[in-house]
Amino acid sequence: MKTVGPATGSAAPVRLTSYARGGGCACKIPPGELEAMVAGLLPPPSPGQTPSPGQALDGDEDRLLVGLDDGDDAAVVRTGDGTAVVSTADFFTPVVDDARDWGRIAAANALSDVYAMGGRPLVGLNLLGWPRDVLPAELAAEVLAGALDVARAAGCLVGGGHSIDSPEPLYGMAVTGLVDPDRLLRNDAGRPGVPLTLTKPLGIGILNNRHKRTGEVFAHAVAVMAALNDKASAAALEAGAVCATDVTGFGLLGHLHKLARASRVTAVVDAAAVPVLDGARESLRAGYVSGGTRRNLDWVRPHLDAGRASEDQLQLLADAQTSGGLLVAGEIPGHPVIGELVPAVAGATLVIR
């Protein structure tokens, strides 16, 4: 997509990533800051009382199956007819310059939260922020069209949404789905002795950062980001898994720390077994590391036994992913086992070997 430059009348490519300070899930509020923000939203339980999983109404605690407590991927509410509703929202600034690809990636990323809970998406609502005096409406239409392509592939309806005039372009979706309340994938259900499987390679954030700074296009990274996690979710349920999360802006280490902390276990990661996108290691050595990745690593360091892992290895494991894979406590055929859960080790939710 091209636009006409006002001074010369010449056609110039629109680099969407240049209109945003961050990009993709790397523009998330840092995890430590976010946890401090929401800490006061959960009242402390009474002595001997089990904490409520969120802001449930009095008498409705048993209906809110997943809420704020452990920062899981979506909220889950029991409907009373043997099913439960999964509800989530996700949006971010441009992660690539191609508008249609950005829409595809953002939609896949939003839908992933439903898959990470073991659910099936039903309907999505567009969330669009657009600098309408700066960028043409035709580009926004391309973003929406790309998202619709992915939603249709997921069998998910798209029913309107909401838009605002914003300083930076923003796009995402609020998604509602259904899940069997007795077959939930949650981040607090990990148990010692269970292997860890990762269903997409790391390095997305590094390559996206290089794309933003240089304009180089990495088609294989776009393909990974736009791919749905539907089959991985179904395979996890088929294998009997009960614990999972998806790997996005807090990186593998950040999301695994949350899972291990919620499950009261320690996660051991075999760094050599973690799949990595072609070109990511070279790009990391060249300095294409986002601020979000550095903040992820700073957040987990107090809980990390890094062993002999180098700083480069740690930055790769903390790389801020956009529309990353599922991290499943269980073995999923066709995907690499990258470690295991073990009984809690004092002072460390994460161990690198």
25 is catalytic: yes
Question: Contact, 315 vs 251, CB < 8 A?
Answer: no
Amino acid identity, position 177: G
Q: Which residues contact 226 (CB under 8 A, 6 or more apart)?
A: 101, 104, 105, 108, 150, 323
- 230 — phi, psi (to 5°)? -65, -45
Q: How many CB atoms lie within 10 A of CB 71?
A: 18
Q: What are phi and psi of 343, to 5 degrees?
A: -55, 150
Which of 25, 27, 156, 243 does the annotation list as catalytic?
Answer: 25
Structure tokens at 116: 């990470």
Alpha-carbon distance of 293 to 308, in angstroms, equals 20
Q: Which residues contact 47 (CB under 8 A, 6 or more apart)?
A: none
Please give the single-letter amino acid code of residue 200. K
Could you list the active site residues?
25
